[in-house]
Structure 1
Amino acid sequence: MSFVCIVDDDASIRSALANLLKSAGYATVTFSSGEAFLAASDIDDALCVLLDLKMQGMQGLDVQRQLNQQQRSVPIVIMSAHGDETIVRQALSQGASGFLHKPFPEDALLDLIALAAGRKGADD
């Protein structure tokens, strides 16, 4: 079964996103840190990863770099309340499928997940 990974150090954000995605028909797996996410064994099976930019410990762009170095092909959507245009360009140039500025509309999130999932399906 395909699922969406949610990586955010804020428990309320993880819960809200998981509930939203469940109501849209997606299974989710949540992680409270970039380190916990990278330690998971089945992340390559995810439709996409919703990855917070600013977290305790490993930051979102660091997680993205690690995935790239490990040649992991899971699509990434970066989320942040702190992203300036330089950070957005950096995330996208490193291969992120999209960037969402918190707070973001639900339909923007669902559209990016569908787009990322479509890309993953095309790559498999």
Structure 2
Amino acid sequence: MVTGRSDSPQLGKADEPDGRPTVFVVDDDVSMRRSLTNLFRSIGLNVLAFESAQEMLQNKLPQVTSCLVLDIRLPGQSGLELQNELSKQNIHIPIIFITGHGDIPMTVKAMKRGAVDFLTKPFRDQDLLDAVVAAIERDRKRREAEKTTASLQSLFDRLTAREQAVMKLVAAGLMNKQIAAELKLAEITVKIYRGQMMKKMGARSVADLIRMAERLGIGANRDPLQT
């Protein structure tokens, strides 16, 4: 369980981890934190609320589908500075900025850095809920894509060096005969490596294998592993 300020347990305490999406809230206005916490919990979301960027950074965040509702003007580190710090730490939580002092330069800077929305106080509850639902769906898709890529990378890493080389050349569009010439192997040997590689990767067709290679970022050139 992750907690925020001990003097505001209702605001800084997440529900027990249960796989449900979590909304992180960072706002120095206690009444706003309370309002947002109640709003998000009303639609079944877990909530973690903090009064400052520093407080959020000091906590170990749960690894669940999430988004961050962030006030742009905060004591100490600003919302923009927190956005930058999260990026440096390779934390890619979709961010929705809220502010009572919004201006065009801040909005442009926040959006260029990857914020998904920017709402000016006072805003309608439904507008914020719509933004949060969209941000959570975006994070869910990102996490699924990363999980798929990690799984494919694990399979690729288990291939032998020859099998990896064959996969790269198949993904680059070469035929068995061309791959054999490239690797200085007999064509029948290439066919054996290719069959083993396809089976290990779980590829049902060349098109399937090419999609896997694209996700892994391989096969765009003809530079197989040297063995």
Q: TM-score, normalised by structure 2?
A: 0.53
Task: From the two aligned structures, give the one with the greater strand fraction.
Answer: 1
Structure 1 moving runs of 4+ over 4 Å: none
CA distance in 1, matches of 2:102, 2:88: 23
Q: How does 1:1-20 map to 2 (within 5 A)?
A: 1=19, 2-20=21-39
> Which string of whole-angstrom CA distances, capped at 9 and with x for unpartnered residues, describes residues 22-44 of structure 1?
11221101101000111111155
CA distance in 1, matches of 2:43, 2:32: 16
Task: From the two aligned structures, give the one with the greater helix fraction.
Answer: 2
Structure 1 pair 46/35, CA: closer, same or farther in 2 (3 Å)? farther
Stretches of structure 2 lacking an aligned partner (at least 5 in a row)? 1-18, 144-227
Structure 1 pair 63/85, CA: closer, same or farther in 2 (3 Å)? same
Stretches of structure 1 lacking an aligned partner (at least 5 in a row)? none
Amino acid in structure 1 at the alignment position of 2:37: A
Secondary structure at the aligned position of 1:45 is classed as coil
Q: TM-score, normalised by structure 1?
A: 0.95
Number of aligned residue pairs: 124
Structure 1 pair 44/91, CA: closer, same or farther in 2 (3 Å)? farther
| Superposition CA RMSD, Å | 1.1
> Which residue matches 1:103?
122
Higher Cα radius of gyration: 2
> Which residue matches 1:21?
40
Tell me which moved more, 108-117 or 40-49: 40-49
Q: How does 1:1-124 map to 2 (within 5 A)?
A: 1=19, 2-42=21-61, 44-45=63-64, 47-124=66-143
The structure showing larger relative contact order (alpha-carbon pairs under 8 Å, at least 6 residues apart) is 1
How many percent identity over aligned positions?
A: 34
